[in-house]
Structure 1
């Protein structure tokens, strides 16, 4: 996998360099942490209201157990350039159905030599 694509007309795969951080955010959702991504230095603090909305979206989805996605989830998760950041839609998986209809929506910004991550929401697109 190459670096992130800066072309708003192309949906790209999520760059390898972002995957550990995005996986850690998903793991935070799986654990149902009060503050999603807390303690992950490149992740902007997630407001309590957003963390709550993410947990509610999972609860409202049905009687399912969110799990850490397998590596194959990166085959269908996507990143799209929005002019000054990338919007990533990370497919979420459940114990009951494998890949679910839920996605984690995260914006990724260039920040110095690395990247910053902002969690937006969990939802069904």
Structure 2
């Protein structure tokens, strides 16, 4: 699936792979988390501001998990998914750690579409 273009799909009945167009921004979000920037300070174009409550939840969950996050490899897209929720997409992105490779942790977020532009709201990092 690595070289395949994945389009944005509004299918509320089936999970879909993460669309290709969203992947660079998700990589940037996870890079910030790897660098311990849980609030995504300074912002990222296309990412909605992260609340202090969400930032604290992410930090605490990662700290409690006890592993060091690593940057996303391309194969994370083989198991990460999204689903259309009538007003936005819910996404779950598998996170990776230095000790485990693919971990039990996921990044949960929402993707909104406005005038053919996409914005991401980071919800949480957790073990589903």
TM-score, length of structure 1 as denominator length: 0.94
TM-score, length of structure 2 as denominator length: 0.92
Shift of 1:35: 1.7
Q: Stretches of 4+ moved more than 4 A in 1?
A: none
Give the Cα separation in 1 of the matches to 2:77 and 2:6. 14
SS state of the match for residue 28, structure 2?
helix
Give the Cα separation in 2 of the matches to 1:12 and 1:37. 30
1:27-81 CA deviation, whole Å, 9 max, x = no partner? Answer: 110001152264211100001110110111111112x110001000011000111
- Equivalent residue in structure 2 for 1:86, among 85, 89, 93: 89
Structure 1 residues not aligned, in runs of 5+: none
CA-based RMSD of the aligned residues comes to 1.2
**Partner of 2:44 in structure 1?**
40
